[in-house]
Structure 1
Amino acid sequence: MTDISSFTPDTSSAAAALDGAKKTTAEKTKQAKEAVSKAVKSARETATEVAQQTRTFASEKAKVGAAWTRDKAQVAHHVAEDHPMGVALGAFAIGLGVGFLIARNLD
């Protein structure tokens, strides 16, 4: 005859395995939460650092751009005062060139 006890699991070993699985799952869940927490913290720090660098870069470039524009505007103003007819003819020629290019692209 067949011994039926060989087919039924031992309840003590099954309970121990279940407890081990619960502990392993709890530990892995805890590790996953810690990893996510570290990742979020790292992402937050990186975003803050990038934002600060961007603000600093934009501020510096705005100052340089303003100084450059002011200087170029002063030079252009002096040239326009010294050579008004040359500036007018140059602007007219540039307008003709740009108009020609635009008209050519519309066809």
Structure 2
Amino acid sequence: MTDVTSFTPDTSSAAAALDSAEKTAAQKTKRAKEAVSKAVKSARETATEVAQQTRTFAADKAKVGAAWTRDKAQVAHHVAEEHPLGVALGAFAIGLGVGFLIARNLD
């Protein structure tokens, strides 16, 4: 006859293995949650830092741009006052060139 006990698992060792697997899974889940939390915190800090740098950069470039535009406008105004005919002919020539290029691209 066949011994039936050889086919049935030992319940104490199976239960111990199940408890061990549950503990391992719980530990892995806990570590995964901690890693995700750390990654989110790091991403948030990085985004905050980048936003601050962008604000600072934009403010600096706006100041530089305003100063550059004001200086260039003053120079252009003085040139236009000193050489009105030259400015008019230059603007006409530029307009003619741009008009020619636009007309050429329409064909």
Which of the five TM-score ranges fits, normalised by the shorter chain? over 0.9
Deviations 1:17-56 (A, max 9, x none): 1111111111011000000000000000000000011111
Aligned structure 1 segments of 4 or more residues deviating by more than 4 angstroms: none
Q: Secondary structure at the match of 1:29?
A: helix
Q: In the alignment, does 2:43 pair up with 1:43? A: yes
- Aligned Cα root-mean-square deviation (Å): 0.7
How many aligned positions are there? 107
Deviation at 1:63, TM superposition (A): 0.5
Q: Distance in 1 between matches of 2:93 and 2:4?
A: 105
Counting only pairs closer than 5 Å after superposition, residues 1-107 of structure 1 correspond to structure 2 as: 1-107=1-107
Of all paired residues, the percent bearing the same amino acid is 90
Unmatched 5+ stretches in structure 2: none
Deviation at 1:57, TM superposition (A): 0.6
Deviation at 1:2, TM superposition (A): 2.0
Q: Distance in 2 between matches of 1:102 and 1:3?
A: 98
Unmatched 5+ stretches in structure 1: none
Deviation at 1:4, TM superposition (A): 1.5
Q: Distance in 1 between matches of 2:48 and 2:106?
A: 47
